[in-house]
Structure 1
Amino acid sequence: MTKSRERKPLVKQASALVGSSSVSLLEIMSMALEALWSNKLRTLLTMLGVIIGITAVIAVTAIGQGTQKSTEQQLQSLGTDILQVQSGAARSGGVRQGSGSATTLTLEDAQAIAQEVLGVDRVSAFLQQNAQVVYAGNNDSMTIIGTDINYPYVRNTHPQTGRFFSQEEVDSAKAVAILGPTARDELLGTGSNAEGAQIRIAGETYDVIGVMETKGAQGPQNPDEQIYIPLTNMSARLVGNNAVKGLAIRGIYVKVKSQDLLDAAQYQTTNLLRVRHGIFPEKGETDDFRTVNSADIIETLTSTSKLFTVMIVAVAGISLIVGGIGIANIMLVSVVERTREIGIRKAIGATGTAILTQFLAEAVVIAIMGGVVGICLGIAIAFAASNLFKFPLVISPWSIVFGFGLTFVIGLLAGVVPARNAARLDPITALRSD
């Protein structure tokens, strides 16, 4: 009695498959869904590989593009029209140290660039050094930036509370300081009113006159953790080393009037400093400074981020292929388990093409369902990551199209061999199977 009940739907499906040319795509999909629903656990396990793969493709692509967009926004907030000139590298024991380790630039170099290079808007010279900073019971090593009044304008970072130091305070080397927001929180306490507080930097007392706005980390540096003091004060009280030809500085920020003038300004600045430093490249002499174009930095970071994203997506694509292999394995097992079903269908007239189409449809449906679930999970993970790590949510349409298309192709290819085996089964042998 039970067997007769099981055969009724099979006979009904088989009759629908007789003469495959008359069977609609809707009917084929309906039968595929019915067959998959009757084996829910097996269907779910088969879909897992595809779900994981497509989730990885969508999530990793979105996270990679989001972090790339965030990096670009942070760099652009500092300005894409900035040229940075760094002092040269010192040598110790024949080993070249990092850029800025030698005092090859002077304040007079910065002033010459501002006066003689065409297209320059403003110039800001700076010194940089780590020092111990003490307030009450807090004692931390922090990055100290000694600079001039042009720094906020050139670097597009301004005081959130209080003010920046004046030209008079720079000229008199006054001991005043502006804290980054993170530096303020670590020294004085989160959200504290810093104005009027006195801190000690390398044993010297400084009056806090303001707190800078939050900018976030930019590469290896985080402006929020820095403390700003007048360049003249830092040179006299902290660094204590003046170049023979003037006040030694670590580097120079050059802001041009438009990004189109950046390359020309870089060329003129390089030649001007070579003349001032007596460097002759035609004699084989090397520059004792280095110029860095902000547009080049953004382009390099963008290309690196894109390459990293492509590599991760390739790994996710491999996991999709593994998912396809899983579909093929389960479908092969399904053919063996449903041998009797296939025999009944063929015995009442279903053609080999109809059986082939049926099993291909099942494989494709599994892949598509896994792809839909994977896309939804990938978007959800990307959304959660963007909220958690505070970067823009970027869902690329091509990643969805690519992932969905790939799952369809994988499902189709994974179902070919099992479907062909099912179509080639001898009906008499299949009916004898238990």
Structure 2
Amino acid sequence: MNYNSQKSKLSIYSIDIFSMAVEVLWSNKLRTGLTMLGMIIGISSVIGITSIGQGVQKATEEEIQSLGTNVLQIFPGDAVRGNVSQGLGSTSTLTWEDAQEIASQAPSAEVVSAYLQHQGQVVYEEKNTSTTIYGADLNYSAARNTYPQIGRYFDREELNSSKQVAVLAPTVKRNLFGDKNDIIGETIRIQGEAYEVIGIMEAKGSQGPIDRDDGVYIPLTTMSARIVGNNALSGISVNTIFVKSSNQEQLLAAQFQIQNLLRIRHNIYPPQADDFRITNQADIIKTFTNIVGLLTVMVVAIAGISLVVGGIGIANIMLVSVVERTREIGIRKAVGAKNSAILNQFLAEAIIISSLGGVIGMGGGVLIAFGAATVFNIPLVISVSSIAVGSGLSFSVGLLAGVIPARNAAKLDPITALRSE
């Protein structure tokens, strides 16, 4: 019974302290709001930036993983002029014949596809659209995991005879034909030449700013002969070769086999450097995740500076409040208030300011994350850990910022305090 009585008194005491703190803060609304501003900006920045960083990371990982983590991409090397590299793919060193040789000679390569790409105008009657034109082989759909939803893909006879047929991606179809779906057999024009529409690819959606549904697919031989005109001396030049292994464990074996095979085909011997580059999807994901993680931590750390500024602001205002309320403190002590009561009230005021600012900041951070996800079309990722950290930081900053002012208030001599004006 005695324990329950003490517990009841403690609860009433805590409620009184809280009520007095709220009353004081409410009577100085403008000052309280400005004091909270630093906490609001700091917490919202931490949560918002963390969520945006994780959203960008997830979007990019989904984009890369949509190709599969068991994928290698092979690119031509870079041309060098005047000891200056012209960039990846600036020279034609890969051919369709390389891809065919990889398919037949590399046991770990399950699916191999080569393609050319080129930006161009596609025209239908009075409408036109600028898009990416892909000259692909028969394995492109399996390598990129994208298949016709309506109609069909071109066949071997059309590839071998360089037929002028095209498969449209959904964005191009919509730009040229609107809502009309019965377009199989229609004729479009690419660089002034007629192509028969034989299919429409399935929708893959956008990934960030990249529209994966914007493209036209034609036979690789047609692309090379009629649009790019980029025939190497040893065969048909390509921009990229995709290689899928049976599983991720076979990826390193496939990479080793392909590198040796291409060096032999291209007459490259030590100490000569490769005239091609092989990228590993799993390595890309790992590297990108590490980079984005480090950038997010760095930016969050910078945003965290505003939390320090917010804490200093709270401490400063509370110190000013102690000076302004010296006489009030003296009166309370004169009528029997203990040092602990004065200490607790000022601590409560600081904690309420920082905690309320933290709650508003969390809401602001979620709104920032939602707005960024909507504008930039990235996944909305609300990090529970960042919210938990924000909550802990806001409470901790308030506690630390209120300690010194609260101690100063509690230590005031009541006689000296009563004499102050």
TM-score > 0.5, shorter chain as reference = yes
Q: Are positions 1:226 and 2:221 aligned together?
A: no
The residue identity in structure 2 corresponding to 1:266 is: Q
Give matches, 1:112-261, under 5 Å. Answer: 112-189=101-178, 193-216=182-205, 222-261=211-250
Rounded to whole Å, the distance in 1 between the matches of 2:192 and 2:300 is 52
Rounded to whole Å, the distance in 1 between the matches of 2:356 and 2:168 is 54
Q: Offset at 1:403?
A: 1.0
Q: Offset at 1:27?
A: 4.5
The residue identity in structure 2 corresponding to 1:360 is: L
Corresponding residue for 1:4?
A: none
Q: Are positions 1:386 and 2:386 aligned together?
A: no
Percent identity between matched residues is 60
Q: Offset at 1:123?
A: 0.5
Rounded to whole Å, the distance in 1 between the matches of 2:170 and 2:11 is 73
Shift in alpha-carbon separation, 1:268–1:141, aligned structure 2, 3 A? same
Secondary structure at 2:235 match in 1: coil
Q: Offset at 1:303?
A: 1.9
Shift in alpha-carbon separation, 1:377–1:221, aligned structure 2, 3 A? closer
**Matched-pair contact (CA < 8 Å) for 2:208–2:378:** no
Give matches, 1:1-400, under 5 Å. Answer: 25-189=14-178, 193-216=182-205, 222-281=211-270, 284-387=271-374, 389-400=376-387
Shift in alpha-carbon separation, 1:273–1:218, aligned structure 2, 3 A? farther
Q: Offset at 1:105?
A: 1.5
Corresponding residue for 2:5?
A: none
**Matched-pair contact (CA < 8 Å) for 1:161–1:210:** yes
Secondary structure at 1:249 match in 2: coil
Counterpart pick for 2:404 among 417, 427, 434: 417
Secondary structure at 1:121 match in 2: strand
**TM-score normalised by the chain length of structure 1:** 0.87
Rounded to whole Å, the distance in 2 between the matches of 1:354 and 1:141 is 73
Identify which range, 285-294 or 392-401, moves more after superposition: 392-401
Identify which range, 284-293 or 388-397, moves more after superposition: 388-397
Rounded to whole Å, the distance in 1 between the matches of 2:278 and 2:325 is 72
Rounded to whole Å, the distance in 2 between the matches of 1:287 and 1:219 is 33
Corresponding residue for 1:14?
A: none
Shift in alpha-carbon separation, 1:177–1:242, aligned structure 2, 3 A? same
The residue identity in structure 1 corresponding to 2:151 is: G
Q: Are positions 1:406 and 2:393 aligned together?
A: yes
Q: Offset at 1:379?
A: 2.6
**Matched-pair contact (CA < 8 Å) for 2:120–2:131:** yes
Rounded to whole Å, the distance in 1 between the matches of 2:14 and 2:130 is 70
Rounded to whole Å, the distance in 2 between the matches of 1:190 and 1:331 is 65
Q: Offset at 1:170?
A: 0.8
Rounded to whole Å, the distance in 1 between the matches of 2:269 and 2:115 is 26
Secondary structure at 2:32 match in 1: helix
Rounded to whole Å, the distance in 2 between the matches of 1:391 and 1:220 is 9
Rounded to whole Å, the distance in 1 between the matches of 2:295 and 2:180 is 37
**TM-score normalised by the chain length of structure 2:** 0.90
Shift in alpha-carbon separation, 1:136–1:83, aligned structure 2, 3 A? same
**Matched-pair contact (CA < 8 Å) for 2:208–2:376:** no
Secondary structure at 2:231 match in 1: coil
Rounded to whole Å, the distance in 2 between the matches of 1:341 and 1:25 is 20
**Matched-pair contact (CA < 8 Å) for 1:78–1:157:** no
The residue identity in structure 1 corresponding to 2:135 is: G
Identify which range, 343-352 or 320-329, moves more after superposition: 343-352
Identify which range, 388-397 or 272-281, moves more after superposition: 388-397
Rounded to whole Å, the distance in 2 between the matches of 1:88 and 1:194 is 40
Rounded to whole Å, the distance in 1 between the matches of 2:125 and 2:73 is 37
